[in-house]
Structure formats: C-alpha cells, structure tokens
Structure 1
Amino acid sequence: MSEPIRILLVDDQPLFRGAIAALLARQPDMEVVGEAENGLAGVEQARALRPDLVILDVEMPVMNGVEAVRLIREQVMDVKVIMLTVSDVEDHVLEALRNGAHGYLLKDLRPEQLYDMVRSVMRNETPISPGVAGRLLREIRQAGKPRVTSPAATTEQSVTRRELEILRLVAEGLSNKEIAKRLVITEGTVKNHVHNALEKLHMDNRIQAAAYVIRQGLGAPGSEPAGR
C-alpha cells in the first residue's frame, strides 16, 4: 500500500478546520499532518512539515491565502496547494493560480467531491469548482483575442487534432477521467496528450491551456491547426 497523502490545513475558522480534518481522516489514503490558523503560520508549517498537499483558505488574518500560496510554492517546491474558500472573486482566483495554486475549490462542495479533488491534484490535474471555472472562462472570453506574440504561436502547428480535442474538453472543465470516458480512451492516454500539448505550447498547467484554447478561437470544431 502506498503512503497516504500528507495534508496541511490552513483556515482561520477552527470549527471548519476540524470538520475538514475529520472528513479527511476517514480516507485511508489521506492523513492530516498539521493545521494553521492564518497564512503566515501556514507558510511556516509547510516549511517545517513538508506536506504533500496544503489546503488553504483565501481570506485570513495576518496573511491571506493568495500571498501565502506564493510563499509556500517558493519555499516548498514540491508541495501541491488547493485553495478551499467561499471567495469566488475573479481577482482572487486569477492571482492564486498565478501564484502557483494547483486548484481552486469553493466550500459548498460535497465531501466526495473534496476527496476526488484532492486525489486529482496529486495526479497533476487542476481541480476547479464548476462555478469558479465558469466565471474564470467568461472572464477570459471577455478579454477578447490578444495579438499572438508568445512562443505558443510558433508551436501551434505541432499540436495534433487529438491533443486539441482534449484541450477543448479541458477548457470545458472536464477532468482526465471524464475526458477518458467521453472519448473512450484510458486516463493514461489523456494524461499523455495533455502533457505533450502543454510542452508544445510552453505552458505549465491546464488553466493556461484552457485560456489559450478560448483566446485563440480554437474552442469549436473546424478550428484545428491546418494540416493536422
């Protein structure tokens, strides 16, 4: 049996923090190794405990979660960070993701969804609550199509039709498991396609890929790179 996922909880509400700890303790593949009540304490705990995953609130005293995720990712390079919050403000979402967060979840999710999201981020996916994903993608769409000057422009032609098809589904907010079911392929195949596409486009995560698909007008059939 593999080692459980070692989790640090950072939230300023003791009752909520205790409830999440109790829920996670029911899962044989998860272990809460520490708790902190504000962002600064969370950074210190992350540095001391070296957890696999930090579950981090946004609005906290002393230091908020958006700043804390930046410091955690700078100081504990291998740790994953999920924001778990009531805040769906676009600025918070975008800044947290820019600062290195691997996922952004709202506190209205069901326990089973939380378990799934924790496991998915450890598979290098980027879990986003559906409501947040919808707002984030609308924000990207409203920004319009920028002039393409990034390195991605030079490698677009190397993205295959299959990779682009999968990126479209990523942009819809689907997980690897959901994409695999939709396309009748294995999760491993989906993961490989996503990895290859991100490398070709010089991108770090699925959120960047979703933004690219929308901004470049590649979200509809018939928009594949020519010759693929």
Structure 2
Amino acid sequence: MTQPIRLLIVDDHFLAREGVKEILENQREFVIVGEASNGIQAIEKTKELLPDLILMDISMPKMNGFDATKKIKSEYPNIKIVMMTVSYDITDWFEALKRGAQGYLLKNLKTEDLLNGLKAYSLDEIPMSKEMAFRIWKEFKKDGQGKQTLSVREQEVLQLVAKGCSNKEISKQLSITENTVKTHMKNILGKLQLDNRVQLASYAFDNGIV
C-alpha cells in the first residue's frame, strides 16, 4: 500500500488551517503531520517533521511564505512546497516559483479542485501549456553558465516536459518506465541547478531546446 503524503500546513489564520484539515481529514492520500502560523515556525517544523509536502501561505507575520520557501528549499530541496493564497497577482505566482515552490493554489478553489491540485503537485504531474511555459520563460531568464551538459535522452525528456507532458506521457512516448523518467528528471534538475519542472520548461525555451 502506498504511504500517505505527509503534509505540513502553514498559515497565520487558524480558521484557514482548520478549513484545510477538514477538507483533507477523510482523504487517505494525505496525513497532516503538523501546523505552523508563520515562516519561522514553518522552518522549525520542517526540520522537526520532514514532511513530504508543505501547503504554504504567502502573507504571514515574522517571516512571509516566500522567504520561508527559499530557506526550506535550500536545505531540503526534495520537500515539495505549494503556495496557497487569495492573491490573483501573477507576480506572486512567478515569485513563488522563483523561490522554489512547485505550485500555486488559490484559497477560493472548490474542494475538488484543491484536492486534485494537491494530489497532482505531490506527484509532480502538472501538465503545462506552451503558452504558459512561454510566459514563464519571459520571467525566468537563466544564462545556463556553469551547468552540466545533458545527455541525448535527458534532452528528449526535457523537450517533452516543455510541451506539457506528464511523467506517464513521457514514459509512453520514449518507451521507458515512469521510474526511469523520474530518475532522468532528478538528474536534469541537478545538472541545470533548477528546482522544478516549471523552471525546466522555461530553461528549454530560453535555450532553444523546443
């Protein structure tokens, strides 16, 4: 049986944390291991609990979600962080990704959409359109200096990521297992010094790979 995703909730509003807990309490895929009310507590709880996924608010006292995300990702790059906020500001969305977050969800989402989003982010299976990837490319401009060269297979995987393919779709197109795809993804991220597949797509556009 697959182990549930260990989730840390970070939000300075008690009712917001309670709302998320209520939504997830009957979901076998998730288990809430802790809560925090600001960025400093989020860092402390992360060190203590080592969750798989952190649901992080942006606007909080003492330390905001952006700064907490950057600090956590620098020490625990494998922990996934999803920002959750009421903000529709696209600059917040880009800033979250720059700090290393895997995704961005709005607090006013329907319960079903919130659950689907969390499940998808936890599995790193977020399809992305070429249009969105291009918009992100304009925000993330990386020069690629000091980054290792990708193998032919890794470049093939990168091309498919930029086209919005999930790991499952990539495995079918390249006739390899999903575990192999995940291994390639990990190696690509390491070589390019990037944090997530959104940044990978922007890198691909920036360097003419797609």
TM-score by length of 2: 0.74
Decide whether the 8 Å contact of 2:103 with 2:121 is kept in 1.
no
| Cα deviation code 1:160-181 (max 9, x no counterpart) | 1x43333123123433134335
Deviations 1:111-130 (A, max 9, x none): 4413423531xxxx3758x6
Tell me, yes or no, if the aligned pair for 2:40 and 2:68 is still in contact at 8 Å. yes
1:151 maps to a residue whose letter is: G
Structure 1 distance, partners of 2:177, 2:102, is: 23
Residues 100, 196 of structure 2: 8 Å contact kept = no
* Shift in Å, 1:200: 5.0
**Are 1:62 and 2:57 an aligned pair?**
no
Deviation per CA, 1:186-210: give whole Å up to 9, x if none. 3223223334444554545423321
> Does 1:159 pair with 2:151?
yes
2:206 to 201, 206, 215: 215
1:113 aligned residue: 116
4+ runs of 1 displaced by more than 6 Å? none
Does the residue aligned with 2:61 lie in a helix, a strand or coil?
Answer: coil
User: Which structure exhibits the higher relative contact order, with contacts defined as CA atoms closer than 8 Å and separated by 6 or more residues?
Assistant: 2
**Residue 73 of structure 2: SS of its match in structure 1?**
helix
Aligned to 1:138: 135
> Is 1:168 paired with 2:134?
no
Stretches of structure 1 that go unaligned for 5 or more consecutive residues are 220-228
Cα deviation code 1:63-86 (max 9, x no counterpart): 211011123335656643222223
Structure whose alpha-carbon radius of gyration is higher: 1
Q: Work out whether residues 126 and 207 of structure 1, in 8 Å CA contact, stay in contact via their aligned partners in 2.
A: no
Taking only the aligned residue pairs, the percentage that are identical comes to: 39
Aligned length: 207
> 2:125·2:167 contact (CA, 8 Å) conserved in 1?
no
Quick check: 2:55–2:83 contact (8 Å CA) kept in 1?
yes
Shift in alpha-carbon separation, 1:60–1:202, aligned structure 2, 3 A:
closer
CA distance in 1, matches of 2:117, 2:71: 24
How large is the RMSD of aligned CA atoms in angstroms? 3.5
Post-superposition shift, 1:215?
A: 0.7
- Aligned-residue offset at 1:138: 0.9
d(CA) in 1 for partners of 2:47 and 2:192? 32
Gap regions ≥5 residues in structure 2: none
Partner AA of 1:52 in structure 2: D
TM-score (norm 1): 0.69
